[in-house]
């Protein structure tokens, strides 16, 4: 056997070392992805330390975390003059204060849930809080609650010492800060006796000040007063929503034919202000005012159409004016007007039904006094359509019904008779009775068919609500988790007993709110002018309702 030369041996050794080194850099094969969130395993000083004199705090994590994310997730209350410095040693972070701490003061340092580990970006499951005092006593009072809704994780809790003015609070940094975890729960520690106002803010850019044009906000139902003997004030709950402070505008008007004008708005409007008497059209060339027959929605939330008999000439200077516009947030603007180009194109579009709810041939329609919504492709003379509608089963047995109009292009039909379960029905429309402002109509029939549900498949839930205030007009809400339109409400009587019957099977949440203004809906409150939200409470468990099976004797304690 030939001997291997020294140079070849050296070359093979280098290759072996290179391959071995490369192999060591590869991640181990197989195994589950690390989904364990990081947590703080050690803190200095210990929680609740008094007479603290050092100028730093140390926190040790269970795994390596993103240093930038950690820096952005630190909240110190009361606020410091200047920014703290962060020094790292392995998994331990030292937070060095920029100036001397106040004497005889309780400090609270919160590490929010934006902290992530380096390997798989797992977030801190819950905000971590450490409190200590520079004096002989530490404030032990706390306020706890929860932010409800989709993806509450990361929502900031702004807590202000509250004296007189509410309007100015949100313009400044909060006195105390915290952040909710993935479950929406928060807790503010280290509070002294006093009065506080708390907000939940989706602080989009980590200001940390509320910005109305960017951030969602949850407004409290009341200020929280902590007395000297208190330790914990709980159940401060929030829904976050976008607060709209911008007045609506009429952006443009487009005349599609000689009888119709399409109006576009900057946002969705309060439908009660969309009425023909609230708009007028003025021809400045002839100095004539055009009467409007009716106004109706198109299916787009920021659009509506005016119908009129016509009479404009191409080249005329014509304006449409809205006397008052109001958006769904209550912002109002008056005398909004825009000009438009006249069209003399004839209107030849015939009216037909363009949308249905529920959809035709649906086999799951309720048999107890069901309601149907129909939307036309254009506005019509509603005084004639009742004569062109018949409601019956497939054998021709008539069903009594009522009809109501949302506007000239949308109406609802409600069965006034109890229908039979598991049976076919139809509503027949004679389009000859559907006539628009131009006299257009279609000489045909349309049959809307559906089938009622099997009455045995329904479910229900009943029980009692305990500890609620019967003087505050309490309303109970059963909400389907997967289908938002399946929401059932009822007012609570003084005894707190409730029963939801004939409910579709599914997963439901149960919550209660105080309808203090008696308007039949939950109010989120307002930032300006400031209004408190309505107080609400959630049942702690998800309710699984199965077909043909009633949940009974449920106890819902609201406090």
In this prediction, residue 18 carries a pLDDT of: 47
In the chain, what is the straight-line distance between the N-terminal and C-terminal CA atoms, in Å?
Answer: 90
pLDDT digits (tens, 9 = 90+) for 134-176: 999 999 899 999 999 888 988 999 999 987 678 788 888 888 8
Same fold, 353-455 and 458-557: yes
Report DSSP state, residue 369: S
Residues 6+ positions from 401 with CB-CB distance below 8 Å: 389, 391, 413, 414, 415, 416, 417
Q: Which two tokens stand for residue 138?
A: 């530490």
- CA separation for the pair 278, 295 (Å, rounded): 10
Distances (CA, A) of 87 to 53, 68, 70, 97, 276: 19, 12, 11, 11, 67
In this prediction, residue 28 carries a pLDDT of: 47
Burial pattern 50-88, b for ≥16 Cβ within 10 A else e, equals eebeeeebbbebebebbeebbbebbbbbeeeeeebeeee
- CA separation for the pair 384, 74 (Å, rounded): 67
pLDDT digits (tens, 9 = 90+) for 308-318: 987 789 989 99
Cross-strand partners of 158: 177, 199
- CA separation for the pair 350, 279 (Å, rounded): 25
CATH architecture, domain 353-455: Sandwich (2.60)
In this prediction, residue 8 carries a pLDDT of: 56
3-state secondary structure (DSSP) of residue 515: coil
Q: Where are the domains of the chain?
A: 40-242, 250-340, 353-455, 458-557
In this prediction, residue 5 carries a pLDDT of: 56
Domain 250-340 belongs in CATH node 2.60.40.1220: yes
In this prediction, residue 144 carries a pLDDT of: 94
- CA separation for the pair 30, 33 (Å, rounded): 9
Q: Which residue has the tokens 């099997």?
A: 454
- Phi, psi torsion values for 60, nearest 5 degrees: -115, 130
- CA separation for the pair 229, 462 (Å, rounded): 39
Domain 458-557 belongs in CATH node 3.90.105.10: no
Q: Let me know the angle formed at the C-alpha of 403 by 398 and 407, rounded to the nearest 5 degrees.
A: 150
Mean pLDDT in each 10-residue stretch from start to end of the chain (559 residues)? Answer: 51 49 44 87 95 96 95 86 92 95 91 90 89 93 92 90 80 85 88 94 82 91 93 94 90 96 95 91 91 92 93 90 91 93 95 96 92 96 93 96 96 96 96 96 97 88 96 97 91 96 93 95 91 95 92 93
Give me the CATH topology for the region 40-242.
Answer: Immunoglobulin-like (2.60.40)
- Phi, psi torsion values for 496, nearest 5 degrees: 80, 0
In this prediction, residue 522 carries a pLDDT of: 96
């Amino acid at each position: 056997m030939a001997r291997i030369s020294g140079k070849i041996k050296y070359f093979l050794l280098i290759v072996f070392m290179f391959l071995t080194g490369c192999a060591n850099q590869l991640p181990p094969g197989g195994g589950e992805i690390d989904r364990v969130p990081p947590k703080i395993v050690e803190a200095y000083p210990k929680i609740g330390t008094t007479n603290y004199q050092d100028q730093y705090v140390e926190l040790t994590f269970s795994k390596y975390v993103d240093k930038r994310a950690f820096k952005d997730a630190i909240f110190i209350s009361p606020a410091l003059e200047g920014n703290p410095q962060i020094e790292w040693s392995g998994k331990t972070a030292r937070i060095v204060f920029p100036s001397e701490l106040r004497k005889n003061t309780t400090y609270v340092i919160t590490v929010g849930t934006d902290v992530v580990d380096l390997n798989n970006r797992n977030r801190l499951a819950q905000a971590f809080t450490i409190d200590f005092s520079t004096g002989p006593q530490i404030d032990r009072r706390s306020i706890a609650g929860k932010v409800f809704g989709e993806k509450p994780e990361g929502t900031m809790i702004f807590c202000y010492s509250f004296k007189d003015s509410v309007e100015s609070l949100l313009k400044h940094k909060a006195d105390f800060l915290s952040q909710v975890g993935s479950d929406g729960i928060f807790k503010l520690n280290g509070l002294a006796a006093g009065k506080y106002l708390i907000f939940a803010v989706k602080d989009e850019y980590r200001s940390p000040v509320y910005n109305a044009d960017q951030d969602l906000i949850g407004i409290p139902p009341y200020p929280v007063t902590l007395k000297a003997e208190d330790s914990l004030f709980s159940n401060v709950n929030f829904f976050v929503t976008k607060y709209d402070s911008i007045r609506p505008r009429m952006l443009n008007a487009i005349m599609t034919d000689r009888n119709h004008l399409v109006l576009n708005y900057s946002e969705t409007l309060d439908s009660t202000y969309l009425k023909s008497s609230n708009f007028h059209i003025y021809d400045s060339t002839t100095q004539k005012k055009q009467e409007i027959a009716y106004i109706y929605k198109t299916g787009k939330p920021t659009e509506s159409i005016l119908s009129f008999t016509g009479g404009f000439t191409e080249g005329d200077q014509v304006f449409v004016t809205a006397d008052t516009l109001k958006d769904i947030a209550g912002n109002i603007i008056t005398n909004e007007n825009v000009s438009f180009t006249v069209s003399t194109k004839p209107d030849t579009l015939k009216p037909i039904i363009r949308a249905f709810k529920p959809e035709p041939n649906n086999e799951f329609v309720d048999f107890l006094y069901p309601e149907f919504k129909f939307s036309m492709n254009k506005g019509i003379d509603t005084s004639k359509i009742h004569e062109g509608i018949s409601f019956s089963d497939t054998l021709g047995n008539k069903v009594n019904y009522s009809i109501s109009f949302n506007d000239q292009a949308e109406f609802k039909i409600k069965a006034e008779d109890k229908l039979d379960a598991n049976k076919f029905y139809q509503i027949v429309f004679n389009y000859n009775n559907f006539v628009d402002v131009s006299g257009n109509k279609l000489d045909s029939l349309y049959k809307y068919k559906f089938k009622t549900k099997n009455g045995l498949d329904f479910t229900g839930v009943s029980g009692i609500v305990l500890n609620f205030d019967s003087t505050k007009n309490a309303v109970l809400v059963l909400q389907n988790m997967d289908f938002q339109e399946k929401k059932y409400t009822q007012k609570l009587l003084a005894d707190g007993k409730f029963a939801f019957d004939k409910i579709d099977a599914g997963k439901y949440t149960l919550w209660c709110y105080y309808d203090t203004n008696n308007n039949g809906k939950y109010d989120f409150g307002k930032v300006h002018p400031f209004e408190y939200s309505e107080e609400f409470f959630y049942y702690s468990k998800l309710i699984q309702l199965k077909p043909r099976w009633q949940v009974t004797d449920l106890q819902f304690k609201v406090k």
